[in-house]
Amino acid sequence: MGTLKNLNSKHLSTEQVDNANTAIDTLKENLGEILSNLTSDERRRYGSVSEQNKLFVNKVYDFRKNQPDLSSPDVDWEEFINDFNSRNTLEALIARLQKLFTGITNAKTLCDHDNYQAALDDYAYTNYKAGTSDPHFEAKQKELKQFFSRSKKANAEKTDEQK
């Protein structure tokens, strides 16, 4: 069975690309004031709220909402509620963006695959034509051959190491 070709034959128009870039710019502009650049150390330190701890926060929120007289006076409850609501909103945005990101990544993967398969077909044709002593194809073959010599050497070295 041969390799599947042209797995992604749908392409964005210039207008669609421009609109997507404008939408990303608008999103960055609208979210800019809340975006934060954390160091990896800060992400480890502050990002350690486990699912169990999130359930705990939800339970405290429920108590605050349903029985506010049981809430600590030491907590800034307005800020707590704002953080709680923002967290839920951001979580929903992240889920939507991750789904979009996955779809875009998958479309790019199909384009990469299609390009590589077409390039292999062109290389096979180049090898065929170089066999007819066409100097133009011989020069092209020489240029393209470099992309395969490394893998052959690496495979040969692996085979030698396994002996």
Note the pLDDT of residue 48: 74
Give the whole-angstrom CA distance, residue 163 versus residue 156. 11
Give the whole-angstrom CA distance, residue 5 versus residue 118. 8
Cα 24 versus chain centre, distance: 15
Note the pLDDT of residue 34: 93
Note the pLDDT of residue 29: 95
Give the whole-angstrom CA distance, residue 83 versus residue 77. 10
Element (H, E) at 112: helix 77-130
Closest CA to 110 of 5, 25, 41, 8: 8
87-116 confidence digits (pLDDT tens): 999 999 999 999 999 999 999 999 999 999
Give the whole-angstrom CA distance, residue 137 versus residue 131. 9
Ranges under pLDDT 50 in the chain:
none
Note the pLDDT of residue 77: 98
Stated pTM of the model = 0.73
Note the pLDDT of residue 163: 53
Residue 61 · residue 77 · CB < 8 Å: no
- Give burial (CB, 10 Å; 0-12/13-18/19+) of 97: exposed
Note the pLDDT of residue 159: 54
Residue 102 · residue 96 · CB < 8 Å: no
